[in-house]
Structure 1
Amino acid sequence: MMTRSATLTLLSVAAATLPGALAWGAMGHETVAYIASNFVAADTKAYFQDLLDDTSADYLASVAAWADSYRYTTAGKFSAPYHYIDANDSPPSSCGVDLDRDCADGACIVNALANYTSILLDGGASDANRQIAAKMVIHFVGDIGQPLHCEALEVGGNDIDVTYDGDDTNLHHIWDSEIPESVSGGSSLSSAKSWATTLTTAIKTGEYKSQMTGWATGLSVATPATRQATALQWATESNARVCDTVLVDGVSAVEGEDLSGDYTDAAQPVVRLQIAKQGYRLAKWLDAIVAAASST
């Protein structure tokens, strides 16, 4: 069996050549999932532990990066466009997501999150399909919080070459991995768990306490339209960070530059906020799914 580190190495190689890959990296996705597990209701925990056949504390985190592995398989390659939405806006002067313009063929993260949620709520869906849907939902709620997963410019930043601490990479990749890891202190599962604990405290009693309730404003899984509207709201919020942080001074200010210094210092608070926000939102999204499923 391939080890987790070997799997991540192969995925990192793939991420270097394919657009929109590995939002937040495995560690970031695991952090989102651990935060969610700290906020879900008891009924939600029991529901998803049963569905995922995992009664450990890692039941969400252990599948949080599964969708990134799946997209590189023959069976799962259809799902690659589901990880992002290509907002055809004009950062840094203008940011915005237009679903008709940016998801004309229907294949984007906004619709994917709504559609896989619908499968979870479908009482006639098989356990196998509902399990896949759960893994997708857990992952996509994380993906939609990465600003460059909600941006078309230069293939979501994949084609903007930069360096980081002397190593050649691209802008998308450093937002997926290097900047989050500069905050958490590492890329391991233990780093994710530790960072999630810190962010959970910030949400419950610290800097994010006053914002927490607002993060779930408008959240609804009641109908396909409300699921789509909630996902679109989240994508629009993430996309706005492209103008105010990611590319605040335009492409020319970052291309070819080493971004491990002042740029990272400015980006870290945004990354912390987006991870914390999506972790909390994932908990409330899963709670809403279980509440809706229980009422039918």
Structure 2
Amino acid sequence: MRTRLIGLLAILFTLIPTPAFAWWEYGHETIASIAKANVAPHTRQAIASLLRHGPELATPTCPLRTIEQASVWADCIKNLGDRFSYAYNWHYQNVNICKPFDVKAACPDGNCVSAQIDRNARLLKDKALPSRERLMALAFLVHFVGDLHQPLHAGDNADLGGNQVKTDYGIVTNSRLNLHSIWDGYLSERSISQAPSLIHSYSQADRAVMSAGTTEDWSRENWQISRDMAYAPVRNAAPCGPPSSVRGKLTEAQIETLVPVVRLQVERGGLRLARLLDDALG
């Protein structure tokens, strides 16, 4: 079964351009589902009420009937061209992993993922705004919290968040594979699918621990993971060393080490999103 799945994923990589993958749908939808399972009942009702305004956004090819659909809406609308092109830079922040952490330098005029999480949380909370605007803020917020918790949306080494780091994944070799797409796709799929269901109501203690902090704290955390856990394994434990002309490779042993790291970020993303939604709507 695993071999067949790997084969199917390899075929997908040959058919779909790499930029289409952003946590794929699996990572984003799982984070959204964790949040839905952990928000207060009133918040869940408020989300459902806002989602009924989906047709007002006039994006029929990118529906907004569920929070899971909302989690991938911000990627889907990239295909709508100029209408939403202003949001392209909001999905990531290229914080240099080889310099002291400085998210502000990577976020000119608020055009980065952490600033847009804060902005859309404020818009969602503002009941004076039309429901259409608050729904758009909800969709952006759900998606961007997911993006921030994919560490290669939070760290960079002058290579577009690992998109230019050609890397093989275990036995899978493909010219389109790179470090970013592995973390977006293969690694997230394995981390989520091999775990007991991550979508459940977490204990109050777990929610308190995993949802703590600010967007800057979460940015720093994922920046550090990108340096120590994403770049280091394919740079011989020297993430800031000179780039190699040889393709990188994640071995099976390295993949097994990374699976719980990715899984934890998915859980954190879901519980942090739940907290933000309760703050805005609860």
Shorter chain as denominator, the TM-score bin is 0.7 to 0.9
Distance 1:127 1:281 in 2: 23
Map of 2:59 onto structure 1: none
The reply on whether 1:114 has 2:105 as its aligned counterpart is: no
- What is aligned with 1:217? 212
In the superposition, relative to structure 1, how do residues 210 and 13 fare at CA in structure 2: closer, same or farther (>3 Å)?
Answer: same
Paired with 1:270 and 1:254, the residues of 2 have a C-alpha distance of 28
Q: CA deviation at 1:32?
A: 0.4
1:144-203 superposed Cα distances (whole Å, 9 cap, x missing partner): 1111001121110000011231223010000001001123349xxxxxxxx6x7224594
Q: CA deviation at 1:253?
A: 7.8
Q: Distance in 2 between matches of 1:178 and 1:200?
A: 20
* Residue of structure 2 in register with 1:163 after alignment: 168
Q: Is the 8 A contact 1:113 1:141 kept in 2?
A: yes
Summarize deviations over 1:19-53 as a string: whole Å, max 9, x none: xx643111110000111111111000000001002
Structure 2 counterpart of 1:13: 16
Which one of 256, 259, 264 corresponds to residue 268 of structure 1?
259
**Cα distance in structure 2, aligned partners of 1:139 and 1:104:** 20
- 1:105-145 CA-to-partner distances (Å, cap 9, x unmatched) read 32101111111112112223221111111100011111111
Counterpart AA for 1:116: N
Partner of 1:250: 238
In the TM superposition, structure 1's runs of 4+ consecutive aligned residues that sit over 6 Å from their partners are none
* Map of 2:188 onto structure 1: 180
* Partner Cα separation in structure 1 for residue 246 and residue 100 of structure 2: 20
TM-score (norm 1): 0.75
The alignment yields a C-alpha RMSD, in angstroms, of 2.6
SS in 1 for 2:80: coil
Aligned residues: percent identity?
Answer: 28
Equivalent residue, structure 1, for 2:35: 36
- What is the correspondence of 1:138-149 to structure 2 with a 5 Å cutoff? 138-149=142-153
Change in Cα spacing, 1:288 to 1:161, as seen in structure 2 (3 Å) is same
Assess if the C-alpha contact under 8 Å between 1:160 and 1:255 holds in 2: no
* Cα offset, 1:89, TM superposition: 3.3
Give the secondary structure class of the aligned counterpart of 1:156: coil
Alpha-carbon distance, 1:101 to partner:
1.4
One-letter amino acid matched to 1:39:
N
Structure 1 unaligned residues grouped into runs of 5+: 1-8, 187-194, 219-229, 292-296
Matched, 1:53 2:21: no
Letter paired with 2:147: D
**CA distance 1:140–1:119, shift in 2 (3 Å):** same
Secondary structure, counterpart of 1:258 in structure 2: strand
Deviation at 1:254, TM superposition (A): 10
What's the TM-score once normalised by structure 2's chain length? 0.79
Name the residue aligned to 1:5.
Answer: none
